[in-house]
Chain A
Amino acid sequence: MTGEIGQLSLCLAMALALVMAISGLSGARPGAAVARAVASSATIGFAVFVIVAFGALTYAFVESDFSLIGVASNSHTAKPLLYKITGVWGNHEGSMLLWILVLALYSLLIVFLRRGGERLISAALGVQGLLALAFLVFLLFTSNPFLRLDPPPFEGRGLNPLLQDPGLAFHPPMLYLGYVGMSATFSYAASFLITREGDGNWARAARPFMLIAWIALTLGITLGSWWAYYELGWGGFWFWDPVENASLMPWLAATALLHSSLATERSGAFRSWTLLLAIAAFSFSLLGTFLVRSGVITSVHAFANDPERGIFILGMLVAAIGGALALFAWRAPSLETGAAFEPVSRESALLLNNVLLTGALASVFIGTIYPLLLDAIGGEKISVGSPYFSLTFAPVFAGLLLIVPFGPQLAWYRADPRATLRALIPVAVFAVLTGFIVLLLSVPNSAIAALSFALAAWVIGASALDLWRKRQSGRPTFTTFAAVIAHAGLGVTLLGVTGTTLWRSEALDVVRVGGTMPVAGYSLRLDKLDAYAGPNFEAVRATVSVLRDGARIAVLTPEKRSFPTEGQATSETAIRTTGVSDLYLALGDQRGPDAWTIRAYVNPLAPFIWIGGAIMAFGGLMGLFARFGRRVVVSSVDAVPAE
């Protein structure tokens, strides 16, 4: 029954999405109050049916209803409940349904928050309806999660064991909350281009959606990187894999958008550019979906490898981006431009921020797409690995970090250059000192490490000083906190990246029970090996004592698990963290009755990578608190006489 309920709900949702699109877009006309009311109701109905469909699929997974192909090929009765639920989006069909669910939730949010004028909201819902319609057609005709299997098998095939992990359980929903969240901003931008209601206020109206999506994307990327670190067993945290880049591109575009829209909201400066960024941020989300879902790139994230689907998503990509850009080209030139501000001002700093973020984005985009294109046109197969990004992305991003402390110091419109420099002198001194200390203490003396640390100290120091000064001068607001905290998070992540990349120690050895191996001042002793059976796997657990100067300071238990249903093995790493450094153990393979290879890493400052990510997200949350309460009352509807 659940299959039929789900199928029917999706069909009804598709019909309502069509209603949403038509009535929402007709509601853009000044007099069309009825169409606007219909659009709101249709949105609620659409969202309810999507929620029901998603609930039905979840129920089928929890109940192990193997008469559904999706459940039979991705679930198993012996799987723990959490992974039965996460199995819902651990496959192509389910993850596309999750995409639509998130789209529905954001559409509901647009209805209930009622930000911006009536016409602006209505056309935004119309655009959301169009997106929903396209994705529902895609889901129902190429990737239906409710397809039946006859006869149903007795047992399912299980879920990729790599995905059976708490970190990855929440990584896709978080990422989708970010990707699809950009749809709300995109819809507001498109709606503004259609209605031109409220001038720069569309950006103010869309701000909460922008922030929610940015926070979710930040957390999603952080979680994904953390998962890769502890689950893949090779101690790396970022591989510049196309799938990772796919999530970084919308993040960079959204970060640029968050900054440029500040100026647009305040004085209408850069209004065309902000619109373009809103389109770009969602376009890169769609591109990410295309890259991951079409199987263009083969990696652990690409569950499906079906060209038909790829072409469909590519078509949607072209239609959405092309349509939005055409709309932009048609309507944007008539927007009055000619912002006025002095060369030394907050506006200029934001513009510079955007130039550098665009450069960084160009590096990631070209580095990701180029090998695919070269391959597609029959050129040579090349790899674009981390050395490329170290030479193109890193210097541009370093330039960005260099200007970060200036931004919050500069006044809008006209800033006093001398006062700004004076305010930052203590921070500059602190940064230079930090750099020198690192240069002298690092073994071997590393100029890169010194520069990185100086840069991190420059960013974090400026944030700390800013916060302290604002506390002195009165009650700090959420707005004050937001930028300062997010910027500091960036500095903290830089520390983690630098420490892990430059100062990691590693050791690989075959160890017998009772034997030891050294790594970076520690001695690791393999005490015993135990075999045990988990709910859906067999495992070997090694008990390893960590010795320092002969004294035992910790016991770590890395495991090797093999999943008979899926015919795969995973390595459960064991990590001892002091908060500033990780000792990281992974069990390799068996080399005799009581001998195993053990990989050990000491990753200095590794936790800072993800702590920094969490701090950035927290900064975004502060920004959200600052904005959410502020209701936007800009309605041209009241001003326009009824037709």
Chain B
Amino acid sequence: MKRAAFLLVLLLFVGAPAGFAQTEPSGPEKLSDPAQEARAVALQKQFRCLVCRGESLDDSGASLAADLRRLIRARIKAGESDQQIETYLVDRYGDFILMKPPLKSGTVALWFGPFVILLVGGAIAAMVILRAGRSAKAGNKSPPFI
């Protein structure tokens, strides 16, 4: 019985994730003002669909994403700035909704880690090359094996 329950959960789980399984409940939302629409599209790309794989609101077909797309447009229409809309969404959903994680104390290692590793690697490589160069100058030649 436990096994069956597990299988059922598994099945539900497998059935749930894909974005397109849920579809938008109403027609495509578009603002009549092209400048506002462009702002909406640009904003859509910055926020994450909360229920899909790494897709932005712009890519996603999930109904929650469609709701948020409409919400963004409603707020643009109401005259809010991009910054106000971002603040509103982050207050509501946390940093999780941002496709680009903000730089703060908790994400310093995230943002700078790769470059630190690159620099350390570069420094080691430079040392190896200098040493190998000195060795070559001294007349050493590492013999080919075969």
Chain B residue nearest to A392 in the complex (CB): B114
Q: Could you tell me if A383 and B59 are in contact, using CB atoms closer than 8 angstroms?
A: no
Q: Is the interface of B mostly helix, strand, loop or mixed?
A: helix
Stretch at the interface among B23-31, B32-40, B71-79, B80-88: B23-31
CA distance A131 to B4 in the complex (A): 31
Q: Could you tell me if B21 and A569 are in contact, using CB atoms closer than 8 angstroms?
A: yes
Taking the complex as formed, is B1 at the interface, i.e. its CB lies under 8 A from any CB of chain A?
Answer: no
Taking the complex as formed, is A385 at the interface, i.e. its CB lies under 8 A from any CB of chain B?
Answer: yes
Chain B residue nearest to A377 in the complex (CB): B106
Chain A residue nearest to B117 in the complex (CB): A362
| Interface residue count on the B side (C-beta < 8 Å) | 64
Stretch at the interface among A20-28, A350-358, A424-432: A350-358
Chain A residue nearest to B14 in the complex (CB): A160
In B3-58, the 8 Å CB interface with A consists of 3, 7, 9-11, 13-15, 17-21, 23-24, 27-28, 46, 48, 53-56
In B99-129, the 8 Å CB interface with A consists of 99-101, 106-107, 109-111, 113-115, 117-118, 121-122, 124-125, 128-129
CA distance A380 to B101 in the complex (A): 11
Chain B residue nearest to A304 in the complex (CB): B10
A residues in contact with B18, CB < 8 Å = 162, 232, 300, 568
User: What 0/1 readout, one digit per residue, does chain A (131-173) give for beta carbons within 8 Å of chain B?
Assistant: 0000000000000000000000000010010100000000000
**With contact pairs A241-B53, A382-B96 given, residues A362 and B113 touching in the complex (Cβ less than 8 Å):** yes
B residues in contact with A241, CB < 8 Å = 53-54
Q: Could you tell me if B60 and A234 are in contact, using CB atoms closer than 8 angstroms?
A: yes
**Min CB gap B103→A, angstroms:** 11
Q: Could you tell me if B110 and A381 are in contact, using CB atoms closer than 8 angstroms?
A: no
Taking the complex as formed, is A69 at the interface, i.e. its CB lies under 8 A from any CB of chain B?
Answer: yes
Q: Could you tell me if A383 and B98 are in contact, using CB atoms closer than 8 angstroms?
A: yes
In B117-146, the 8 Å CB interface with A consists of 117-118, 121-122, 124-125, 128-133, 135-136, 138, 140-146
Q: Which 7 A-B pairs have the closest CB atoms?
A: A385-B99, A359-B118, A589-B23, A387-B100, A340-B135, A363-B114, A362-B117
Q: A236-B59, A348-B129 are in contact. List 13 more A-B contacts (CB 8 A).
A: A199-B145, A234-B20, A234-B55, A234-B59, A338-B142, A339-B128, A341-B132, A362-B117, A362-B118, A568-B21, A588-B24, A589-B24, A597-B24
23 chain-A/chain-B pairs, Cβ below 8 angstroms: A201-B145, A201-B146, A232-B19, A232-B20, A266-B145, A268-B145, A298-B17, A303-B10, A338-B132, A341-B136, A342-B136, A359-B115, A366-B113, A366-B114, A370-B109, A381-B94, A384-B110, A385-B99, A387-B46, A392-B114, A396-B114, A569-B20, A597-B24
Using CB atoms and an 8 Å cutoff, list the residues of chain A in contact with chain B: 69, 73, 157, 160, 162, 199-201, 204, 232-234, 236, 239-243, 265-270, 298-300, 303-305, 338-343, 347-348, 351-352, 354-356, 358-359, 362-363, 366-367, 370-371, 374, 379-388, 391-393, 396, 413-414, 508-510, 566-571, 588-589, 591, 597
